[in-house]
Amino acid sequence: MFASFRKPDFHNFIKELETLLKENETVIDRLIAGEKREYRDFVRPYMETFEKLDLFFTPLSHLNSVENSKETQQAYEASLPVLSHYHTKISQNSDLYDAFLKIQGKNDAQNEVIRQELRDFRLSGVNLPEKKKKRLEDIDLKLSELNNRFSQNLLDATNAYEMIVENPKDVEGIPENDLELAKTVKDGRTVWTFTLQIPSYMAYMTYGPNRTLREEIYRAYVTRAPENDKVIDEILRLRDEKAKILGFDHFSELSLATKMAPNDAAVIGFLNHLAEASLPHAEKEVEQLKRMAKRDGVEKIESYDVAYYSEKLKKEELDFDDEMTRPYFEQTRVLNGLLDFVSELFGILFTPVDVPVWNEKVRVFDLQENNETFARIYFDLEARKNKRGGAWMNDWQTYHEDSDGREHPASAFVVCNFSPSTKETPSLLRHDDVVTLFHEMGHAIHHLFSRVKERFVSGIHGVAWDAVEFPSQFLENFAYEKEVLDRFAKHYETGEPLPVELADKIKRSKNFLAAMGMLRQIEFALFDFMLHQKLYQRNEVQKLLDNLRERLSPIKPPAYNRFQWGFAHIFAGGYAAGYYSYKWAEVLSADAFFACYGNGTIKKEMTNGYKRQILECGASEPMDRLYREWLGRDPDPDALIRLYDLTDAK
């Protein structure tokens, strides 16, 4: 049975949460006190307590991201210490740990649950003296509070800024759809307001003709939330202390204890290998941008010029402007087309359902296979104030079987920040937005397609962090293929299909300035990973980033750029010492894509295998083993270089 989304009772939320946690603790205490040590009678009821907690708490955490308010903030922040104490108490329970030591699984999935649980108990300090256990609890609580503070500071700073443009010449060339959204009336005159919300910010950075204004909004964006400087120092100190308490030399080693990558050297070597392949290409790309900028009299191209001249260069080199694609990618048609494609690719059906939601623009679908409903998905795709920026998939329910043999369905949220629709204009997407939607859908089906009966390794649960991006990146690769786009790319006014030449330009644009993009991601990944290889504080953080930029940034950012203040992935998300995961997983996704698609043809036998042996298997076995079982070999590490057409620079 699917849970029904409802707005929490903010006034009584903590009281209800504490009651639920006490009920869960009673169940766990009863399991420990009992004599049964059979998997079905012990582990499954234990896992069910986590499902009940997710069903209750996820709506609040979700609302705090998509409909942020004082009410959601207060309830969420008040929950953090309660939850932190609860999870620490469980993860450091030596009696519970001893019970798991005595339990035997009856299949691979059950054995993987036990392996991961025992590992996580140890990583929580279950064997440590009480004094160190208490310190770990204090650290985890403080880190959860700091992560939330970082995120809230960023959201507040994003919402606080506006750039008012009064001169019509300063908005010439900006797409009409973006101008319409920016248009306001001030003192009886039309002006345009640009914000740090991504659709608005990128509209001016990509098309804004006034270089001074581009720098103004760029500076505001890269210096958001300066109070996060101190938050970062405190987060890094606590992570370093936690790692040392648990017996690791530094936090990156602790991070890798739950990932595919074997050690620090493997991660650093992998990223440097990609950098070496990218640098020669990136230098050529930058020279092209410099020549383009010089035509406008810009002698030294700066970071706030890159998006603007990249778009100009793309238009000249490929006769392509991403705005050309907008009329063909009306949001509703794109979503329906994506669902149709996923249906055909994997043999399932999406049916719209009318259920309670948090915003009138949210759309909900049930997933069916062989006339049986097995999952539900919610789409919240448009930007609005008080909604956290970016795009993500958030799981709510997880498919599993309880101790009574009853099956429980899965559900998930897909959240994006596309240009909002109005009464006058529909939401029209750039092709980049289409790629984003495919990406998040890849995450969603990884969770929703699971057929693993054990909750802790079902869907995305238990998947190594450096493999979790694999299914999302796999699906997004299809968003560049004409055979896929033809399913839904039609002009929103005339209904005309996407022209062949425009589809070809989209495909060629995939690797346009790809080396620069690759280096940017490698810079982020190395910064994150090296930042956690020893304790960096105060200006040492900036010096590390500056040194990496010296080697990896063909266009050096201005000295005032404080990218780290907004690096939510590692300071407010789950990517600390793990941002490299995007590229690590992209090797698997590139290799898998080539195995499943070629010359405009989907290899149905391979996609069937991908569904059965990757998506449906969750984390029932480690991803490297699942991958070998599917393709009969390890992933080709050079598949990613091939995907980005960097082969001649190896």
Q: Please identify every residue annotated as catalytic.
A: 440
Helix 264-294 / helix 539-552 crossing angle, nearest 10 deg:
70
For residue 10, the number of C-alpha atoms closer than 13 Å in the C-beta half-sphere is: 15
Integer Cα distance of 207 and 209 in angstroms = 6
Which 3 state secondary structure label does DSSP give 186?
strand
Which 3 state secondary structure label does DSSP give 2?
coil
**Cβ–Cβ under 8 Å, residues 399 and 374:** yes
| Residues 6 or more apart in contact with residue 404 via CB below 8 angstroms | none
| Residues 6 or more apart in contact with residue 175 via CB below 8 angstroms | 203, 207, 323, 326
End-to-end CA gap in the chain: 52
Name the strand (E) or helix (H) holding 334. helix 331-346
For residue 504, the number of C-alpha atoms closer than 13 Å in the C-beta half-sphere is: 5
Integer Cα distance of 512 and 329 in angstroms = 21
Which 3 state secondary structure label does DSSP give 396?
strand
**Cβ–Cβ under 8 Å, residues 410 and 96:** no
Q: Given the DSSP bridges, would you call strands 189-194 and 183-186 parallel, antiparallel or unpaired?
A: antiparallel
- 199, burial (CB in 10 Å: exposed 0-12, middle 13-18, buried 19+): buried
**Structure-token pair, residue 582:** 């995007």
Helix 70-91 / helix 130-160 crossing angle, nearest 10 deg:
160
**Structure-token pair, residue 466:** 């450096």
DSSP β-bridge partners for residue 364: 378
Q: Give me the sign of the Cα torsion angle 456, 66, 194, 180.
A: positive
With CA atoms as reference, report the closest residue to 618 among 116, 43, 39.
Answer: 116
**Structure-token pair, residue 103:** 């339990």
| Residues 6 or more apart in contact with residue 291 via CB below 8 angstroms | none
Which 3 state secondary structure label does DSSP give 497?
strand
Which 3 state secondary structure label does DSSP give 432?
helix
DSSP secondary-structure letter at 614? I
Integer Cα distance of 433 and 206 in angstroms = 15
Which 3 state secondary structure label does DSSP give 410?
strand
| Residues 6 or more apart in contact with residue 563 via CB below 8 angstroms | 222, 545, 557
Integer Cα distance of 650 and 637 in angstroms = 12
* Dihedral (Cα; 122, 127, 132, 133), 10-degree rounding: 70
Farthest-apart Cα atoms in the chain, separation:
80
Integer Cα distance of 613 and 398 in angstroms = 18
